[in-house]
Structure 1
């Protein structure tokens, strides 16, 4: 295999910002609202860009905006960018990514999305039950659907991707029945997970969020996603929720206070490379 050159930290961020600017342009041209989210929003408010020890980008859209954007990304991305979504290629995730197809990665944590590159995550926001117990049950049903989706991969035991060998062995054993039962059914299972997450969108609940993660979900008022405004991120003008304070306090508590020095670490398990022939 030809030598591959590592993507440097500055290059990584430049690629991610390029992806984000492309998404922003498409959204503005078609009247779709989105918000930078999670640590990306925190970084914009507290640091004017990236959290210094962070290296990923997340955005969120309400379900209607998400579906509209996915349809547009299928045809309006420039040649060097690609869409990871069930409508475009095999995927084992209940959300979407746009990635730079000139890059690739190695990772112990993520072996299922091989063939993709440096990415921006795109999350749909759906209504959730207001009652905490009902919301927990709903979350567990989504996690079950997401687990079946993750186990449906066609690449051997890639579903057992994990940060540590002990975790990988545990997933290898515990998820094997689901893998044998659902292998190759990713398209149906991804559609099922999408549909399940939308169950409460027509009901009069007040809370919303993305429940497709294993961690305990943080939910926020649905009303937050009614108003947006511009925000600077690394000198670029992007979009955010007007009431970012409520969002960030729900997510992080006193978000303007820096974490202890020992917690300022990058948890990325990816090593990024330029594909042979791309040495910018």
Structure 2
């Protein structure tokens, strides 16, 4: 049975391990999106949210993956999506709690555990014109991938639902998810984070809004999150305003719900034993 508070507690334990690992190995990271929003607005999780997103400049991200490759750290393992050969429902790498089992509802049902998302932060260019030129092909591929992997559901626009239905009839030989993902990864790596003026999480759910001036990320700054302190952008206000606008304003009550649905959820069962 899904218990959001217990789920948050277990996810927090993953984040504590991740923070300690990055601190010991000199790796930069930043809380992103709703995680940072929760830190500033709620001093922790958004009460109805049940995930954590972090981003790492590409060099730090790839070093993190090298240091954790094929290793287990107590209950935790890291899975790099770029190395998966099968259809996959996400673009981020993940840190999993191996003592849990979770299968999310959707077209692709991976049996894994509770997790935090770890995204690479990449450069996009040194001017608005360069950003537009460099990000356009990435956005096109991501939308194709999203259409391929999503399911029809109420509340989504008729155009999006129609595109999703149509994609089901396109053979894998023509629209291949693994190839789409590999091309997205290749394009995202083209511009170095530290040499670019504009940077961002190019695989994020907010698309262009996740691209900001690198000075907004700046030097990682600690923010209160539950009973811990985790790193976020130096100018968190500018980052959150760019994505959400008036981010301190609470959404309507009917929007204060988790976006995740599960067909299986067990905090006391290891997904490794059921593979």
Assess, with a 3 A threshold, how the Cα gap between structure 1 residues 179 and 57 changes in structure 2: closer, same or farther: same
The residue number in structure 1 matching 2:10 is 15
| Pairing 1:46–2:72 present | no
Name which of 120, 124, 133 aligns with 1:124. Answer: 120
The residue number in structure 1 matching 2:216 is 224
**In angstroms, what is the RMSD of aligned CA positions?**
3.1
The residue number in structure 2 matching 1:177 is 170
Unaligned stretches of 5+ residues in structure 2: 271-275
The residue number in structure 2 matching 1:264 is 256
Q: Is the 8 A contact 1:143 1:213 kept in 2?
A: no
Assess, with a 3 A threshold, how the Cα gap between structure 1 residues 147 and 39 changes in structure 2: closer, same or farther: closer
Cα deviation for residue 61 of structure 1 reads 0.9
Q: Is the 8 A contact 2:126 2:198 kept in 1?
A: yes
The residue number in structure 1 matching 2:187 is 196
Assess, with a 3 A threshold, how the Cα gap between structure 1 residues 277 and 17 changes in structure 2: closer, same or farther: closer
Q: How many residues align?
A: 263
TM-score (norm. length: structure 1): 0.79
The residue number in structure 2 matching 1:3 is none
Give the Cα separation in 1 of the matches to 2:51 and 2:250. 18
Assess, with a 3 A threshold, how the Cα gap between structure 1 residues 255 and 27 changes in structure 2: closer, same or farther: same
The residue number in structure 2 matching 1:211 is 202
The residue number in structure 1 matching 2:111 is 115
SS of the residue corresponding to residue 208 of structure 2 reads coil
Give the Cα separation in 1 of the matches to 2:227 and 2:193. 38
Give the Cα separation in 1 of the matches to 2:194 and 2:61. 19
Cα deviation for residue 254 of structure 1 reads 2.2
Assess, with a 3 A threshold, how the Cα gap between structure 1 residues 119 and 178 changes in structure 2: closer, same or farther: farther
- Equivalent positions of 1:226-245 (< 5 A) are 226-245=218-237
Cα deviation 1:168-210 (Å, max 9, x = unaligned): 6742532543622365x83x65443222012232796421112
The residue number in structure 2 matching 1:26 is 21
| Pairing 1:135–2:131 present | yes
Give the Cα separation in 2 of the matches to 1:177 and 1:189. 14
Cα deviation 1:228-247 (Å, max 9, x = unaligned): 12222110122122221211
Cα deviation 1:51-77 (Å, max 9, x = unaligned): 112221110111111111112222554
Give the Cα separation in 2 of the matches to 1:176 and 1:136. 31
Cα deviation for residue 214 of structure 1 reads 6.1
Q: Which moved more, 1:169-178 or 1:191-200?
A: 169-178
SS of the residue corresponding to residue 208 of structure 1 reads strand
Give the Cα separation in 1 of the matches to 2:180 and 2:67. 23
Unaligned stretches of 5+ residues in structure 1: 1-5, 152-158
TM-score (norm. length: structure 2): 0.80
Q: Is the 8 A contact 1:148 1:178 kept in 2?
A: no
Q: Is the 8 A contact 1:22 1:77 kept in 2?
A: no
Name which of 90, 93, 99 aligns with 1:96. Answer: 93
Q: Which moved more, 1:66-75 or 1:53-62?
A: 66-75
SS of the residue corresponding to residue 10 of structure 1 reads helix
